[in-house]
């Protein structure tokens, strides 16, 4: 075999070796990229999960504070201040054995609620009065609107029953003869986009406090929104429902945040109001959203 042919074969082997090396390098790069991405996703998931639990911890601790103050018959305003001051931006609470912390969002922790989003299972109660001053502060609502959706398992002619129980104007006690009931059928009023049904009641009277019960008479509902207004037919300004406690906590990890909100009813400890206490079981509704802080 000539020297020239040997040199040609040697060059071909080197070229093939370089090609194989390039393919192996490319495969190694792709494999390492996949591994790195999976590790990043895993770390991001763990971080997001920690921030979620941090936010939930903030909500649960806040609800504990609400319960403690309620049992001690303290004011709602004082209670909200205690919740806000528990975990501030300047002094967040760090979870033990976790790289996450939480603060209370004071701008969203309030008893100022107009459009109340609730789950109506069989009975839901709205306490339309100021729990810090139920005698001297009177509500100005003259109408109430309820928007709700109908589950697929329910009839298209589903109904809601409204019961208005008026409070005595001179003392914090229920009027025995001031009870009014209304029954509304889905489909009578045209709801706005996003809802199946709408019902509007003009029963509330201005400068009057009420306990309002909403009962699902022949089905169970969800995604209901309740609003009260200063004028009839759901017109005028929306009326604040001051007996609802809104709490917002923000949990933070290394690269993500979770904001969780909850609302529950403020149920004061009051003697002589057995009907009120029995029918005011507090419902807690929670929800969370996520924000990424970095790559």
At residue 281, the pLDDT reads 37
At residue 226, the pLDDT reads 93
Taking only the tens place, the pLDDT of each residue in 13-61 is 677 777 777 777 776 666 666 655 655 555 566 788 888 889 999 999 9
- Using a pLDDT cut of 90, give the percent of the chain over it: 29
- Nearby residues of 129 by Cβ (< 8 Å), 6 or more positions away: 137, 139, 167, 209, 210, 242, 243
Report the relative pairing of strands 222-231 and 210-216 from DSSP bridges.
unpaired
| Domain parsing of the chain, residue ranges | 116-238
At residue 235, the pLDDT reads 96
At residue 31, the pLDDT reads 63
DSSP 166-207: EEPSSSSSEEEEEEEEEEEETTSSPPPTT-SEEEEE----TT
At residue 149, the pLDDT reads 86
Residue 175 has pLDDT above 50, yes or no: yes
Residue 105 has pLDDT above 90, yes or no: yes
Query: 116-238 has which CATH code?
Result: 2.60.120
* DSSP bridge partners of 128: 210
């Amino acid at each position: 075999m000539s020297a020239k042919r040997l040199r040609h074969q040697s060059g071909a082997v080197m070229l093939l070796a370089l090609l194989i090396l390039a393919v192996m390098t490319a495969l190694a790069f792709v494999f390492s990229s996949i591994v790195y991405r999976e590790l990043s996703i895993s770390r991001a998931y763990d971080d997001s999960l920690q921030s979620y639990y941090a936010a939930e911890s903030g909500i649960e601790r806040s609800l504990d504070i609400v319960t403690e103050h309620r049992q001690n018959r303290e004011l709602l305003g004082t209670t909200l201040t205690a919740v806000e001051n528990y975990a501030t931006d300047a002094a967040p609470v760090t979870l033990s054995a976790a790289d996450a912390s939480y603060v209370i969002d004071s701008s969203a922790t309030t008893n100022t609620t107009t459009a109340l989003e609730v789950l109506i299972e069989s009975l839901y109660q709205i306490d339309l009065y100021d729990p810090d001053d139920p005698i001297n502060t009177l509500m100005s609502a003259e109408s109430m609107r309820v928007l709700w959706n109908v589950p697929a398992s329910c009839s298209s002619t589903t109904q809601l029953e409204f019961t208005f129980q008026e409070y005595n104007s001179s003392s914090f006690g229920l009027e025995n003869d001031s009870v009014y009931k209304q029954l509304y059928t889905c489909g009578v009023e045209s709801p706005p986009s996003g809802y199946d049904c709408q019902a509007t009641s003009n029963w509330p009277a201005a400068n009057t406090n009420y306990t309002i019960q909403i009962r699902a008479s022949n089905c169970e509902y969800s995604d209901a929104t309740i609003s009260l207004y200063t004028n009839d037919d759901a017109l005028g300004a929306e009326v604040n429902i001051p007996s609802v406690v809104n709490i917002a906590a923000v949990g933070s990890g290394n690269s993500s945040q979770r904001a969780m909100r909850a609302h529950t009813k403020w149920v004061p400890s009051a003697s002589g109001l057995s009907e009120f206490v029995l029918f005011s079981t507090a419902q807690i509704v929670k929800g969370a959203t996520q924000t990424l802080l970095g790559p």
